[in-house]
Amino acid sequence: MNNTTLVLKQKDLPYVYGAHNVYASSNDIISYAENLIHLLANSSGENIYQRATHSTFGQVEVKFPTKLGPVSIKITLPKPAVLSEWVTSVLQLTIEGNEDAALKEISLVTMRLKAKKEFSKLSDDLASFNLGRLPDIVLVALLRNTFSIRSQISCWNSLIVQTEQLLQKRGRDPRFLLRGLKSYS
């Protein structure tokens, strides 16, 4: 018999937007883990007749037996991330499909932070975005609004590389969308 463990990383966790905590509660995580178990069981034809859920501060583990051996899903809960108000606002606006308002928020806040020379804060805020959850236009807006100060933004090069990869995965043309932000040979 084999023992199989699925370890989920922070980026795999479900998101809950609003308030100050972007990550789901431990109950939401347990529910998420149970849904994963059911998906695994249904795809493998296994009958889940018994499962054990163990939750401690900082970790949730759900175990269930299978014909091939026990399977467990371990999820280490990250410390709650406190996002800047504008980051939370942009995330909420994009979820609601209000991209125009999200673009306005990006423009206003980045302009304010640039004027105050708060480059470290802006860099931290940019790094806190889960880029995979943002629409193309918002990704490009983050880059275009910070291009003039890219040398002061510690995560800017990583941001453009990740954006380029996401756009390619989505079947978009990064050469076109990122024109002027990156030179292509």
- Residue 173 resides in a domain: yes
Final residue before a domain boundary, out of 48, 76, 104: 76
Final residue before a domain boundary, out of 76, 108, 140: 76
Gap between the Cα atoms of 140 and 142, Å rounded: 5
* Low-confidence spans in the chain with pLDDT less than 70: 1-81, 184-185
Q: How confident is the model at residue 39, as a pLDDT?
A: 66
User: Do 62 and 125 share a structural domain?
Assistant: no
- Residue 183 resides in a domain: no
User: Do 91 and 63 share a structural domain?
Assistant: no
The number of distinct structural domains making up the chain is 2
Tell me the pairing of strands 4-8 and 71-76: parallel
Q: How confident is the model at residue 19, as a pLDDT?
A: 34
- Residue 184 resides in a domain: no
- Residue 42 resides in a domain: yes
- Residue 134 resides in a domain: yes
User: Do 165 and 117 share a structural domain?
Assistant: yes
Helix or strand or coil: residue 184?
coil
Exposed, middle or buried: residue 66 (CB in 10 Å: 0-12, 13-18, 19+)?
Answer: middle
User: Do 93 and 71 share a structural domain?
Assistant: no
Host domain of residue 12: 4-76
Q: How confident is the model at residue 82, as a pLDDT?
A: 73
User: Do 153 and 94 share a structural domain?
Assistant: yes
User: Do 102 and 36 share a structural domain?
Assistant: no
Tell if the pTM clears 0.95, that is, is over it. Answer: no
- Residue 185 resides in a domain: no
